[in-house]
Amino acid sequence: MTLRKPFFGGNWKMHHGPSATRTFVREFMAEYPPREDRTVVFFPAAISLAEFRATAAGRADLLTGLQDVHWESAGAFTGSISAAMARDAGASFILAGHSERRHVFGDSDDDVARKVAAIAAEGLVPILCVGEKLEQRDAGDVETVVERQVQEGLSRLEPGQIADVVIAYEPVWAIGTGRTASAEDADEVHRLIRGLLIEALGEGGARRIPIIYGGSVKPGNIDELLAAPDIDGALVGGASLVPADFARICLSGQR
Ligand code: PGA
């Protein structure tokens, strides 16, 4: 990967079936011309991935991934999808440990670690999502929570595999709430995460890993966030469902 280009992910969550995906992709391509100086990855619903890729055929710059996978490669797990199946369908990135997976579906730190390892074992890039809840921030526990989630999330990887991850810092209280962390507050946590990566990989390796921010990112706040030294991009939920808004976000940060 050519890393530390600004990195933008669109996490569609449970929105946009195949028909809405087709319309979105056409509109987005009209608003966002291919750019080599940034990475753009979409995380549609699994059922819409093929439609996304078919509509965006010819736009190799628009990468795709899934929002979650099971850690086993195959088996009797009704409703689940494996990393191998995701790769076969054209995914190159997979989210692991998104706060909705942790707090709505009950994914534990070890479940997340297993998923991260399964994703890396398939040669795909895991995007490890971490972030504290509001009560944990109010109790002064941001460092402890984020450190634990990063260390445990990466604990089943070999050092060589850690070099190929993306970390998304998404404070739970900022997701879907319209409340964004200030660029300063977010950057402080990104610096903490960078420090953990430096311990694992050394300075050179750690500096190549994108650490992206998520939580109510919009066209109106992306420039300020991206200007912070350790914020390398964004994972965007709500605003990634609107082609013009997400295109505007993906075009910011002309470094
Ligand atoms: P949001 O979601 O942009 O709607 O806050 C971000 C995310 O959950 O990744």
Question: What is the per-residue pLDDT for 232?
Answer: 97
Spot the catalytic one: 51, 98, 122, 190. Answer: 98
What integer is the mean pLDDT of 147-154?
98
CATH placement of domain 7-238: 3.20.20.70
The backbone torsions φ and ψ at residue 120, rounded to the nearest 5 degrees and listed phi first, read: -65, -35
51: Cβ below 6 Å to ligand 1? Answer: no
Specify the pLDDT at position 2.
Answer: 39
3 pLDDT more than 60: no
pLDDT at 173: 93
Tens digit of each residue's pLDDT (9 = 90 or more) over 153-198: 999 999 899 999 999 999 999 998 988 889 999 999 999 999 999 9
pLDDT tens-place string over residues 224-242: 999 999 999 999 999 999 9
Q: Is the pLDDT of residue 98 over 70?
A: yes
Among 129, 216, 218, 250, which residue has the most ligand 1 atoms within 8 Å of its CB, making it the best to mutate? 216
Over the chain, what HEC string results?
CCCCCCEEEEECCCCCCHHHHHHHHHHHHHHCCCCCCCEEEEECCHHHHHHHHHHCCCCCCEEEEECCCECCCCCCCCCCCEHHHHHHCCCCEEEECCHHHHHCCCCCHHHHHHHHHHHHHCCCEEEEEECCCHHHHHCCCHHHHHHHHHHHHCCCCCHHHHCCCEEEECCHHHCCCCCCCCHHHHHHHHHHHHHHHHHHHHHHHHHCCCEEEECCCCCCCHHHHHHCCCCCEEEECHHHHCHHHHHHHHCCCCC
Q: How confident is the model at residue 116 (pLDDT cuts 50, 70, 90)?
A: very high
**What would the mean pLDDT of 146-153 be, rounded to a whole number?**
98
What is the residue-averaged pLDDT of the chain? 96
User: Residue 225: CB within 6 Å of ligand 1?
Assistant: no
The pLDDT of residue 137 = 94
Locate the domains of the chain by residue range.
Answer: 7-238
The pLDDT assigned to 180 comes to 86
**CB-based contacts of 254: which residues, under 8 Å, 6+ apart?**
37
